[in-house]
Structure 1
Amino acid sequence: MMEYTKILAAIDLTEESTQVLDRASSLAKLYSSQLDIVHIIEPLGYAYGGDIPMDLTEVQTQLEEHAKAFLEGVGKKYSIPSENQHVVIGRPETEIHRLAEDSASDLVVVGSHGRHGIQLLLGSTANGILHGAKCDVLAVRIQ
C-alpha cells in the first residue's frame, strides 16, 4: 500500500477550501505525513492579456498579503507551520507541479467542482494539475 510522506493541498481562498483541507489533513494524520498548503495567485497582467495602462503592483501586493493572511489562519486551524504555507504567483497548474516536485510531495490534494458540458471541455485547474503531475492527485468533490 502507498504511504504518503508529504502531502500538498492546493487551495483557493473560499470557504470551500475547508473541504480540501479536511481531506488533506485527515490523510496527513492517517499517514503521519507532512502537510503543505499552497495558494496560487495568477499575475493580474495575464487576465487582461498583459496590456493594461496602469501599474498593478500595489493590487498584486494586496492580493499576496490577503492570501498569506488566509493561509496563516488556515495554518493555525490545521496546525500547519508557516514554513509549510506557500503563496506563489504564476499559472496554477505549472506552479503546483513545480512546488510538488521541489518539495518531493507524493500526493497533491485539490478541489474539483465537477463541472459539465462546455465547462468540462474548457478544462479546469484540477484537470490541469491531474494531467501534468508526477505524483498522485486526489480531487476532492466540492459540495
Structure 2
Amino acid sequence: MSDYSKILVAVDLSEDSAEVSHKAHSIAAVNNAELHLIHVIEPLSFAYGGDIPMDFSGIQDEIHQQASQQLSSFGHVNNIPIERQHIVLGRPEVEIHSKAEEIAADLIVVGSHGRYGLALLMGSTANGVLHGASCDVLAVRVGS
C-alpha cells in the first residue's frame, strides 16, 4: 500500500458514513495522514430538472443548513477539525474531484452500495469518483 498524507472522505451523512469514516481512519492511522471530510449537496434543480418553474432557494438553504449541522456533528465525533470539513453544492463526483485536487489529496474514500443491473448502468457516485480521480480511490462496500 502506498503512503498517504491527505485523505478525502466523501460522506453522504447517512448511517453508512460511519463505516466509510472508520475505514479512512484506519488508513490514516497507519500512514499518519490528515483526514478531510466532504459532503456534496446536489442542487434541487439537478434532481427535478430545470424546466419546473419553481423557486427552490428557500428549500436549498434549509438543506444546506441541516447538512452543515450534521457534517459538523459528524466531524466532531470523528475528531476532524472544522477547517477540514467541506460542504459544497454541485454534482458529487465533480465536486469530490475538485476538492481532492484543491487539498492535494492522495486518496479518496467513498462508500459504495455495490449496485448491479440497471442501477449500475445508470451510474453511481462511487463509480463517477473512481473514473475521474487523479489519485487513488477506495470504495468501501456499505449497506450489505
TM-score range, shorter chain: over 0.9
Partners in 2 of 1:33 and 1:84 — Cα distance?
13
Identity of aligned residues (%): 55
Query: Could you tell me which amino acid in structure 2 is paired with residue 133 of structure 1?
Result: A
Secondary structure of 1:115's aligned partner: coil
Tell me which residue corresponds to 2:19.
19
Compute the displacement of 1:95 (Å): 0.5
Q: How does 1:36-47 map to 2 (within 5 A)?
A: 36-47=36-47
Cα deviation digits, residues 28-57 of structure 1 (max 9, x gap): 111111100001001111112112222111
Query: Could you tell me which amino acid in structure 2 is paired with residue 74 of structure 1?
Result: F
Which has the higher mean CA deviation after the structures are superposed, 45-54 or 18-27?
Answer: 45-54
Q: How does 1:70-89 map to 2 (within 5 A)?
A: 70-89=70-89
With normalisation by structure 1, the TM-score equals 0.96
Gaps spanning 5+ residues in structure 1: where?
none
Q: How does 1:46-125 map to 2 (within 5 A)?
A: 46-125=46-125
With normalisation by structure 2, the TM-score equals 0.95
Aligned residues: 143
Tell me which residue corresponds to 1:128.
128
Partners in 1 of 2:122 and 2:141 — Cα distance?
18
Compute the displacement of 1:2 (Å): 1.4
Gaps spanning 5+ residues in structure 2: where?
none
Tell me which residue corresponds to 1:28.
28
Secondary structure of 2:108's aligned partner: strand
Q: CA RMSD for the aligned pairs?
A: 1.0
